[in-house]
A and B are shown apart, each in its own frame.
Chain A
Amino acid sequence: MTDDQLIWRIAGGSGDGIASTSQNFAKALMRAGLHVFTHRHYPSRIRGGHTYTEVRVSADPVKSRGDGYNFLLALGDSFARNPQENAYYGNEEVKPLSENLDELAEGGVIVYDSGLLDTDDIPDFDERVEENGWHVYDIDLRTIAREHGREVMRNTAGVAVTCAIAGIEPDVIKSLMEDTMPEKVFEPNMSVFDDAYDTVRAEFDADAPDVSVPEGEHDEEQVLISGSDAIAYGALDEGCRFIAGYPMTPWTEVFTIMSQNLPEVGGISEQVEDEVAAAALALGASHVGVKAMSGSSGGGFALMSEPLGLAEMSETPVVLVEAMRAGPSTGMPTKPEQADLEHVLYTSQGDSHRVVFAPSDAEEAYKQTRRAFQIAYEYQIPSIVLYDQKNGGELQNVPASVFDEEPNPDLGSVITEAELEDAPHDPSGKYNRFQHEGEKGVSPRSLPGQEGGRYLATGNEHMPAGHISEDPDNRVNQVNRRMEKMEAIRADLDGDADTNTHYGPEEAEYGIMTFGSQQGTVEEAVDRLNDDGHSVKMLSVSEMAPYPVEEVTEFVESVDEVLVVEMNASAQFRGLTQKELGRYGEKLSSLLKYNGNPFEPAEIVDGFVTSIVEDGTLPGHETKFVPAASD
């Protein structure tokens, strides 16, 4: 268990308002001056099925889920199926309670809706309560909700009970509800809240548990934001006004946010027939001079392989986002994994040249999405933002000032009509849009409709004006120029500060490397390891391609051993690192997790201690250690 005062888990079924209730709860506490971080767990179902959201609350910044949690609010699952004992999916009715007990800390709190849940259905419940010193509150939340409003308001009743036990000032919640609810919904919710709150204070020993919310204060205004929000906002601030997509979890979030916001800024969103079309539409819009994006998750992104290659060959700028989920194939649609790294790096035929960023959290997602657009349009190359179900969906508070930035609608390396007059044309009359020489490998593009700029864009190898050609000299010139961009981009990125994140004491003896969404959790593990007397630092890489070879080499050189932490079974990031560095196989070992749940900080602490300090045998089977080549 971590030292935080409160890690609150609200559990129920899909469709019961778990996500919105937890979001309001988190936002209310953020407004009260606290730091919050959420972790979502949900099934691929519209209605019913084991669902929870954790809200971790602390006076200090939090950047990861915790280890387990200490406060359970178990609501009913309104849409539970198969209540028979031997049913394939088990007794779903009691899952909001039964499925969550293993991770509840000693001395923790259980609030459950006795109107819907019966602890007799849970094996050894009383013994476990006794053994773990849990404080149990059986309250008929459903009846309270029905009495003053509608059954769905039992979520409000549960939040009220949470406030009464954890010492949260009711006004903190109430004022947020007032802001977000229409009056006729707000009024009965207040009655539900007050009744539930008073019931606990009057009829139960609400102060018995050692669980409370700390005092906190922010020194600047905060916003509660997800990685998906941040990706969309980065795109909008770069002047992206066109998106095309097809729904797929978890990418749908970015697509939805863009689709809701684009009309307000005179942009266009297109929901289309499939992902081949989605990426192809983004290319079409970009080709004529509009900043455009598309995206998907693993299976949908596979369909984008063709247009992705076309973007490389025709030098059409585009930004694609890929929201990873557990694979292969349909895999586990609502569970996070980081196993599409090789997919996005190498998919599509031929020598790939593309840019891939893997941001870790909302702030990085905003900044790196912006950078992805800048590079795509400056270098006429596809940029990919690679993230996953975890950092796309988790909410955290971020200073509002992070977004206090100017928009950048610059189209990059586009030639104007005036410049076209003196630009080189070929004897057919076409503009030489694909010249053999170009600064940083870039040959400026014209846009359809411009006088004097006509050319042929094509997925075939082509001459400077775009005419199809298989001439060997032209081929080598064109390939060399296109590949030259990657080196120029690498040099540009070397000038950026902090895209890759270093954390921990510079002189540390050991290193942990990770990428993307695991960064915050690794940082917390690094803190704990150093507090425990180990000497460890972290490098979290966001620049997947072109890879920061020098920076990583320096890091690996500076430590005795490196543990590479990633959420997949085949150690893809470690493989990429070894390929790019061309050595250090004996120095890099892996800590992997691929059961559908992100790492908890303690798992990384244990993994490090076990693999580096001890014999390499990990407790349990949640994580897996893969030793370095020489071991």
Chain B
Amino acid sequence: MSAFSAIGEHAEHDRNEYTPGVEPQPTWCPGCGDFGVLKALKGAAAELGLSPEEMLVCTGIGCSGKLNSYFDSYGFHTIHGRSLPVARAAKLANPGLTVIAAGGDGDGYGIGGNHFMHTARENHDMTYIVFNNEIFGLTKGQTSPTSPKGHKSKTQPHGSAKDPIRPLSMSLNAGASYIARTAAVNPNQAKDIIVEAVEHDGFSHVDFLTQCPTWNKDAKQYVPYIDVNESEDYEFDNTDRNEASEMMFETENVLNEGTVLTGRYYVDEDRPSYQQEKRRIGEMPEEPLAERYFDEDYEWERVYDSFLDKHK
């Protein structure tokens, strides 16, 4: 019998179950794109039939880091840039959990860039939502890794000399097996993408455009948006790595020119997840490790019996 009875119970869940009973209500600014992520995640969780208590939402620091303050599940609000290593170990230790990591563009593409690259490379079975508002919001409007070239801010008084990060291309190169971009103004697409991302066996990366009405007025509302999978103006096969790469490159090029392209950019259903690979080589148990500590019949190995002979 599982010690974690919230896992895999497959009951009906209403989206309101993911709203905390009372405070805290979100402290995001009116019109903030982060509300869109919260709403999409609630909708996706309900559609997936997930119990709030079989979900672990790990966040970084910043406005985005407060996602799990307002989404009612198990949560770990970690430190700046470090949600991914915490999240992926949680998934390895108890694969029964649905693990979602989230953070901002500074969090994921800046300070946590190394973790992003390696988590994608390893293809951990989890979802990573990056709140991309092209700005550092909570610290009051500094230039971020996704800010456009020439972006002026108090820390870049002459305009940024740096080209922005290409989050989708970077993700593809690093090894993510599901890559999408959505926008807060597009709640239905966002919900559907999160559902797919969670269901995908492997590392799902969702670059979520979240307008910052206070500090990034230039970005406005990311409207009008175009879904590249549906628009007749764009044709590509998102299971083909090369075509996906070209579409991503184009999408990143035009964002700062005012054309907001969104959609599923890359889907690789064939690549085994890290968990599958690790089990294949015999370095991860079939049964969730976390269950073992509650299994009264488990006979814990003794060093004296298992490992001492080679020292004699």
Contacts and interface: CB of A to CB of B under 8 A. Distances in A.
Whether chains A and B associate is yes
Interface of A: 31, 221-225, 229, 233, 236-237, 239, 241-242, 244, 261-270, 272-274, 276-278, 280-285, 287-292, 306-307, 309-310, 314, 400, 403-407, 409, 411, 416-417, 427-430, 447-460, 466-468
B78 interface: yes
Nearest to B66: A468
Contacts of B2: 449
Contacts of B201: none
Interface size classification for chain B: 35 or more
Given A290-B93, A449-B290, 10 more contacts: A263-B283, A265-B306, A277-B118, A281-B88, A284-B88, A290-B290, A417-B5, A430-B72, A451-B5, A467-B23
A283 B90 CA distance: 8
A292 B74 contact: no
B170 interface: no
Contacts of A403: 303-304, 308
A261 B311 CA distance: 14
B5 A276 contact: no
Contacts of B55: 448
B252 to A, nearest CB: 24
The 10 closest A-B pairs by CB, nearest first: A449-B4, A284-B89, A280-B85, A458-B77, A223-B311, A281-B89, A284-B86, A448-B74, A428-B20, A277-B85
A450 B4 contact: yes
Contacts of A291: 293
Given A280-B86, A404-B304, A449-B7, A266 B289 contact: yes
A261 B66 CA distance: 39
Nearest to A404: B304
Interface string B15-32: 000001111100000000
Contacts of A241: 289, 292
Given A449-B4, A454-B72, A457-B77, A285 B53 contact: no
B77 to A, nearest CB: 4
Interface string B50-73: 011111101001000010110011
A116 to B, nearest CB: 32
> Which of B68, B85, B284 has the most CB atoms of chain A within a 10 A radius of its CB?
B85
Nearest to A452: B53
A264 B283 CA distance: 8
B85 A272 contact: yes
Given A428-B72, A430-B72, A468-B77, A448 B90 contact: yes
Contacts of A427: 21-22
Given A281-B88, A289-B290, A460-B77, A449 B97 contact: yes
A262 B4 CA distance: 24
Contacts, number: 233
B82 A264 contact: no
Contacts of B88: 281, 284
B75 A456 contact: yes
B76 interface: yes
A269 B93 contact: no
Contacts of A407: 300-303
A460 B138 CA distance: 15
Contacts of A292: 89, 93
Given A284-B89, A430-B20, A277 B114 contact: yes
Contacts of A239: 293, 300
B102 to A, nearest CB: 13
Nearest to A291: B293
B85 A223 contact: no
A276 B82 contact: yes
Given A277-B114, A277-B118, A452-B53, A288 B94 contact: yes
Interface in B268-291: 278, 282-285, 289-290
Contacts of A283: 78, 86, 89
Nearest to B55: A448
A373 B25 CA distance: 38
A236 B306 CA distance: 10
Contacts of B58: 284
A266 B290 CA distance: 12
B278 to A, nearest CB: 7
A456 B282 contact: no
A43 to B, nearest CB: 27
Contacts of A276: 82, 85, 115
A89 B85 CA distance: 42
A7 B29 CA distance: 73
Contacts of B7: 449
B117 interface: yes
B97 A224 contact: no
A281 B20 contact: no
Contact of B93 (A264, A268, A417): A268
B27 to A, nearest CB: 9
A430 B22 CA distance: 10
B92 interface: yes
A539 to B, nearest CB: 30
Given A290-B289, A467-B24, A229 B311 contact: yes
B284 A268 contact: yes
Contacts of A406: 302
Interface string B99-132: 0000000000000001101100000000000000
B118 A272 contact: yes
A448 B78 CA distance: 15
Given A242-B89, A270-B89, A280-B78, A289 B94 contact: yes
B213 interface: no
Nearest to A459: B79
Contacts of B54: 448-449
Contacts of A458: 75-77
